[in-house]
Amino acid sequence: MLTGKTIILGVTGSIAAYKAAEIIRRLNDLNANVRVIMTVNAAKFIGETTLRTLSNNPVYINMFPPSYGLKDSLTHITISDIADLFLVAPATANIIGKVASGIADDLLSTTLLSVGNKPVLMAPAMNERMYKNSIYKHNEKKLQVAGVKFIDPEFGKLACGDEGDGRLASVDSIVRHVVNVLTGEVFSSLKGKRVLITASGTREYIDPVRFIGNPSTGRMGFALARTALVREADVTLISGKTLLAPPKGVRYIKVETTDQMRKSVLDNFEHADILVMAAAVGDFKPRKIEKNKIKRKDVLRVDLEPTDDILEKLGKIKNNKIIVGFAAETNNLIENAKLKLKKKNLDLIVVNDVTQSGAGFESETNIVKIIDKSNNVEKLPKRTKEEVAHKIWDRIVKILKGKRR
């Protein structure tokens, strides 16, 4: 999405500077080339080594460094030349005031004054009293008139412990704004679409303390939810047990068993335009759940019966909705996935070999094949789950465009 784009990330002296690491990672997932300028105070909150490692580029701090390997000694001009966009996140009241007043007393402020016609995004982060100060508001207005775009901060708990406006915008929001500016249009390919996503695994209890489950962490489903938000979808995320925090902006529903998952999906399916079933839903459950903990035995036999097939049920009542399924396989991937695609009346199915390194449960990456109703197979090499999620949404957007035509 951002292949070939160079983003200069300015990091200033705010407690929110630690979020620069996640911003870099997310922009890297979109294939952007990120270069970082830190202020001296920013380096007190997060280490230069961390940001250099994540960006895989030098980190610029000093106005007159010995050498950064650039073509000449005019560091601020050289950086400006290679940039497609400047992002300051977090942006303190100090840096905003300096740039608004034309002050250039360090590398970041000097570079920001030399950007020319390159787009600049500021993501403010400060205490509410500073954010609402009339002097700050005057400086922000001056920069807006000059063409600088602002990513509004959020209401929430601040570093001082108070609640109020001034907390740095979410990483999702920041990334969405970057993409919006660099793609030349509002990145709203799913705007107005109601998206229902399932994630993580289900549990089927044998007794009060034991269950049958699987190792799904929910990472794929949560990546789908985050990337759908970037595309401005209205997202409902239904998840089994997970250690992940839900992305800010989703409607989040927690479930545990397959029956709970089925009920929640059916309750929300009517109002959805798109369903992506990324959850690892259990196929079997005990016929009987013991009321008390089963004591240790030499042999324990548990009778199992099939759970309800949620996807198959929804495929029969889909109407004009788009349904995407996932298949975790260990052999005959494509053949098994094609059978599932047809049997369950899906629009797309995403299949992976869970025995393959970098593609199974608990992995931060995935290696998948995406199959459509015409049995076309798109093979994706190892990618982060964010990148895989974007590929899936790209395919869904093509289906939506076909329906409109």
CA 197-178-387 angle, to 5 degrees, is 40
Under 8 Å between Cβ of 338 and 329 = no
8-state DSSP, 331: S
Domain termination residue (choose one: 182, 209, 225)? 182
Q: Identify whether 188 is part of a domain.
A: no
More confident residue, 261 or 386: 261
Whether residues 126 and 201 share a domain: the answer is: no
Under 8 Å between Cβ of 282 and 204 = yes
Domain that holds residue 198: 194-404
Whether residues 208 and 305 share a domain: the answer is: yes
Q: Identify whether 84 is part of a domain.
A: yes
pLDDT at position 74 over 50: no
pLDDT at position 75 over 80: no
The whole-number average pLDDT for the span 349-360 is 87
Under 8 Å between Cβ of 229 and 250 = yes
Q: Identify whether 57 is part of a domain.
A: yes
Whether residues 108 and 29 share a domain: the answer is: yes
8-state DSSP, 261: H
Under 8 Å between Cβ of 211 and 29 = no
Whether residues 168 and 274 share a domain: the answer is: no
Q: What pLDDT does 393 receive?
A: 93
Whether residues 167 and 19 share a domain: the answer is: yes
CA 145-40-81 angle, to 5 degrees, is 50
User: What pTM, to 2 d.p., does this model score?
Assistant: 0.67
The whole-number average pLDDT for the span 61-71 is 64
List, for residues 235-249, the tens digit of each pLDDT value: 999 999 998 888 878
Instruction: Calculate the alpha carbon distances from 301 to 209, 290, 298 in Å.
Output: 16, 13, 10
The whole-number average pLDDT for the span 273-287 is 95
Q: What pLDDT does 67 receive?
A: 56
Whether residues 372 and 258 share a domain: the answer is: yes
Under 8 Å between Cβ of 217 and 239 = no
Q: What pLDDT does 186 receive?
A: 45
The answer to which of 146-155, 196-205, 250-259, 388-397 has the lowest mean pLDDT is 146-155
Q: What's the CATH number where 255 sits?
A: 3.40.50.10300
CA-wise closest residue to 211 among 276, 246, 260: 260
List, for residues 208-229, the tens digit of each pLDDT value: 999 999 999 999 999 899 889 8
Peptide bond into 90 cis (omega under 30): yes
Q: What's the CATH number where 93 sits?
A: 3.40.50.1950
The answer to which of 158-172, 210-224, 309-323 has the lowest mean pLDDT is 158-172
Under 8 Å between Cβ of 304 and 287 = yes
Domain termination residue (choose one: 182, 205, 240)? 182
More confident residue, 88 or 83: 88
The whole-number average pLDDT for the span 47-59 is 93
pLDDT bracket for residue 65 (50, 70, 90): low
Q: What pLDDT does 79 receive?
A: 81
pLDDT bracket for residue 66 (50, 70, 90): low
pLDDT at position 351 over 90: yes
Per the DSSP assignment, residues forming a β-bridge with 239 are 199, 254
Residues in the chain: 405
More confident residue, 189 or 350: 350
Whether residues 175 and 201 share a domain: the answer is: no
Whether residues 237 and 146 share a domain: the answer is: no
Residue owning tokens 């009339």: 134
How many other C-beta atoms lie within 10 A of the C-beta of residue 216?
25
The answer to which of 138-147, 158-167, 229-238, 296-305 has the lowest mean pLDDT is 158-167
Whether residues 175 and 204 share a domain: the answer is: no
Under 8 Å between Cβ of 389 and 396 = no
Whether residues 238 and 300 share a domain: the answer is: yes
* Cβ within 8 Å of residue 225, ≥6 positions away: 197, 199, 235, 237, 246, 247, 250
Q: What pLDDT does 355 receive?
A: 85
Percent of the chain with pLDDT over 90: 64
Reduce the DSSP state of residue 200 to 3 states and report it: coil
Whether residues 166 and 25 share a domain: the answer is: yes
Domain termination residue (choose one: 130, 147, 182)? 182
Q: How far is CA 238 from the centre of its chain?
A: 16
pLDDT bracket for residue 405 (50, 70, 90): low
pLDDT bracket for residue 72 (50, 70, 90): very low
The answer to which of 149-163, 267-281, 333-347 has the lowest mean pLDDT is 149-163
Instruction: Calculate the alpha carbon distances from 123 to 10, 29, 333, 353 in Å.
Output: 10, 20, 45, 41
Q: How many CA atoms lie within 13 A of 218 on its CB side?
A: 23
Return d(Cα 51, Cα 21) in angstroms, integer: 6
Q: Identify whether 189 is part of a domain.
A: no
Residue owning tokens 């931060």: 364
Return d(Cα 178, Cα 172) in angstroms, integer: 10
List, for residues 300-313, the tens digit of each pLDDT value: 899 999 999 999 99
How many other C-beta atoms lie within 10 A of the C-beta of residue 212?
16
pLDDT bracket for residue 71 (50, 70, 90): very low
Q: Which residues are designated catalytic?
A: 160
The amino acid sitting at 221 is G
The answer to which of 27-41, 46-60, 172-186, 192-206 has the lowest mean pLDDT is 172-186
Q: Identify whether 1 is part of a domain.
A: no
CA-wise closest residue to 354 among 369, 366, 336, 340: 366
Summary mean pLDDT of the chain: 89
Q: Identify whether 322 is part of a domain.
A: yes
The number of folded domains in the chain is: 2
The answer to which of 88-97, 161-170, 290-299 has the lowest mean pLDDT is 161-170
Q: What pLDDT does 76 receive?
A: 66
Q: Identify whether 125 is part of a domain.
A: yes
Q: What pLDDT does 63 receive?
A: 79
Q: What pLDDT does 385 receive?
A: 86
Q: What pLDDT does 184 receive?
A: 52
Whether residues 123 and 20 share a domain: the answer is: yes
